[in-house]
Each structure stands twice: as structure tokens, then as C-alpha cells.
Amino acid sequence: DGGITQSPKYLFRKEGQNVTLSCEQNLNHDAMYWYRQDPGQGLRLIYYSQIVNDFQKGDIAEGYSVSREKKESFPLTVTSAQKNPTAFYLCASTNGGSSYNEQFFGPGTRLTVL
């Protein structure tokens, strides 16, 4: 089955630690995205990548970093510089090469800072 996988489903972090969230897709999509979702605030874009080895900051990139070394993978690192990292993190992808460029989402990772 084609789709987007995110791991882990739940992640606990101590203050001062960096953690990396995994996102993998087997849809052969060019573009991938990371969003953060907080109660009452909707989805906010952290980073996105339209092609391998290239990525752009979204609206709330501070305290986060990404890499896009492979088309299938777009890991997100939450650094200790992110002051309030507790949130639900969603990864998504789009096939821009298709005329029907629908965005698909993974199941999400819930990060809690202890």
C-alpha cells in the first residue's frame, strides 16, 4: 500500500534534548511538508521541500531543522532551541508533477516535553 509513515507515534523528550521525527513516503511524491498542530491554532507550516536536497522555511521554522537527502524521506529534528515543542506533528506530501496535486498526510507524531 502506498502512503506516508511517521514514527514514533508518541515521543517523550526531556528539556534540553534534541529529537528527530521520522517521515517516509512511498508515493513517489516530489514535495514533502512538516506541520505542527496545537489545540485552537490549526496547522502551521514548519518546513517544506519541493525537491531532493532543497528545502524552505515555513511560518514557524525557529528551533527546527530538516534534511532531504532522499526523495522518500524528510526527517524533522526538534532542537533544544524550540521553547515549546509539545505538539502534534504531521508530515505530508504532494505530487506536483501530476495535474491532480492532492496533499496526503501521515498519521502524526505526538511529542511531549517532560
Partner 1 sequence: KQEVTQIPAALSVPEGENLVLNCSFTDSAIYNLQWFRQDPGKGLTSLLLIQSSQREQTSGRLNASLDKSSGRSTLYIAASQPGDSATYLCAVRALTGANSKLTFGKGITLSVRP
- Of 8 and 107, the one with the shorter C-beta distance to partner 1 is 107
Q: Give the span between the Cα atoms of 55 and 53, in whole angstroms.
A: 7
Task: List the one residue out of 26, 104, 107 whose CA is nearest residue 71.
Answer: 26
Non-local CB neighbours of 94 within 8 Å, separated by 6+ positions: 29, 30, 31, 33, 101, 102, 103, 104
For residue 88, the one-letter residue type is F
Tell me the C-alpha to C-alpha distance, in Å, between residue 73 and each of 16, 17, 69, 86, 96: 25, 22, 7, 23, 17
Residue numbers at the binding site for partner 1 (CB under 8 A): 4, 6, 30-31, 33, 40-43, 45, 48, 50, 58, 88, 90, 92, 94, 96-98, 100-108, 110
Q: How far is the CB of 58 from partner 1 (least distance, A)?
A: 7
- Of 67 and 88, the one with the shorter C-beta distance to partner 1 is 88
- Of 19 and 91, the one with the shorter C-beta distance to partner 1 is 91
Q: How far is the CB of 59 from partner 1 (least distance, A)?
A: 9
Q: How far is the CB of 108 from partner 1 (least distance, A)?
A: 5
Q: How far is the CB of 16 from partner 1 (least distance, A)?
A: 27
What is the DSSP secondary structure assignment for residue 101, as one 8-state letter?
A: -
